[in-house]
Amino acid sequence: MTNPFSAQIDLKATLQSGQVFHWHQNADNSWSGLIAEMPARVFEKDRRLVVAQGDPGVIARHFALDHPLDQITAAFPRDPMSQAALTACEGMRILRQPHWECTATFITSSMKQVAHIRSMSLAIRERFGRRVEGSNVSTYPSFDALAGASESALRACGLGYRAGNLLQTAQILAEGGLNLDAIVKQKTPMLRKSLTGLPGVGVKVANCILLFAYERLDAVPIDTWIHRILLTMRGGRDGTAAQLARYARRRLGPYAGYVQQYLFHHARSLKQSKTPVAKKS
């Protein structure tokens, strides 16, 4: 068995591509976060992941160092947009996140920018989570903990109208209406249907959860960014959600979710770099 830590990774792209929202970069360029309730600190050296804190096995699994990145990138479409994204984001990985944490954060994600999803996530952790020794971030609260929260307290975390959805979903899970861990066995269409049964989970959010927490690497979340990109790929021809989903599945290949993530992160990075720097005084 080869050492999983010999696999390449772009740590910054992985942690800043809108999959996960609570990690922060330290002054020494290492990154700190929690994997479920385990404090972790990692850094990148020669395009490889190095563990400074936390169980290496748990970290290797969370960062999906076993994903066959060479095979995945070799299966990328040959079009210029996909290839440009591949070049720009080489080494980016799709994490294996805890089911509930991922579900909850993406319920709060609708019509929100990445920066604000992060601030909501941190506020929820601070208000309802548990402090852990060795971490300056609190755990994401369990659904049992959130099921007993008030909607107004959730709104105070900046959730707006999403507060009711998160609360109702937490209550359904607390009452045993769905077991997020047991449904891993379901085939993707059935699993997607199970997830969209939860308040605040439509097809797009379900695809995020499938991709980021259930290892369904062919799931393609179509948000406003990916919608625009698919539009361009189709020569400006728009379509219904179902048509675009079908197009993405065919066009982006067996690892369509990975391609989607590279396209998403690359497009956002480009826009960021186009933002003019603050003028000198």
Q: Tell me which residues touch DNA (CB under 7 A).
A: 17-19, 109-117, 119, 155, 158-161, 165, 196, 198-206, 208, 221-226, 240-242, 260-261, 264, 268, 275
Element (H, E) at 185: none
- Within 10 Å of residue 76's Cβ, how many Cβ atoms? 18
Minimum distance, C-beta of residue 157 to DNA, in the bound complex (Å): 9
Output 50 or 123, the one with its CB closest to DNA: 123
Minimum distance, C-beta of residue 200 to DNA, in the bound complex (Å): 5
Output 186 or 269, the one with its CB closest to DNA: 269
Output 36 or 111, the one with its CB closest to DNA: 111
- Within 10 Å of residue 136's Cβ, how many Cβ atoms? 11
Per-residue exposure over 174-208, b if at least 16 CB sit within 10 Å of its own CB, e if not: eeeeeebeeeeeeeeeebbebbbebebbebbbbbb
In DSSP terms, which residues pair with 35 in a beta bridge? 38
Minimum distance, C-beta of residue 1 to DNA, in the bound complex (Å): 30
Output 47 or 271, the one with its CB closest to DNA: 271
Minimum distance, C-beta of residue 11 to DNA, in the bound complex (Å): 16
- Within 10 Å of residue 246's Cβ, how many Cβ atoms? 12
- How far is C-alpha 178 from the chain's CA centre? 21
- Asked if 167 and 107 touch (Cβ cutoff 8 Å), the reply is no
Output 41 or 192, the one with its CB closest to DNA: 192
Minimum distance, C-beta of residue 190 to DNA, in the bound complex (Å): 17
- Within 10 Å of residue 250's Cβ, how many Cβ atoms? 9
Distance separating alpha carbons of residues 164 and 139, to the nearest angstrom? 21
Minimum distance, C-beta of residue 39 to DNA, in the bound complex (Å): 24
Output 52 or 111, the one with its CB closest to DNA: 111
Output 217 or 222, the one with its CB closest to DNA: 222
Scanning the chain, the segments in alpha helix (DSSP H) are: 11-15, 56-62, 69-74, 80-88, 99-107, 114-128, 143-147, 151-155, 162-174, 188-196, 203-213, 224-233, 241-252, 256-274
Minimum distance, C-beta of residue 122 to DNA, in the bound complex (Å): 11
Q: How many CA atoms does the CB half-sphere of 206 hold within 13 Å? A: 16
In DSSP terms, which residues pair with 29 in a beta bridge? none
Output 97 or 138, the one with its CB closest to DNA: 97
Minimum distance, C-beta of residue 33 to DNA, in the bound complex (Å): 17
- Taken in order 21, 133, 125, 66, the sign of the CA dihedral is positive
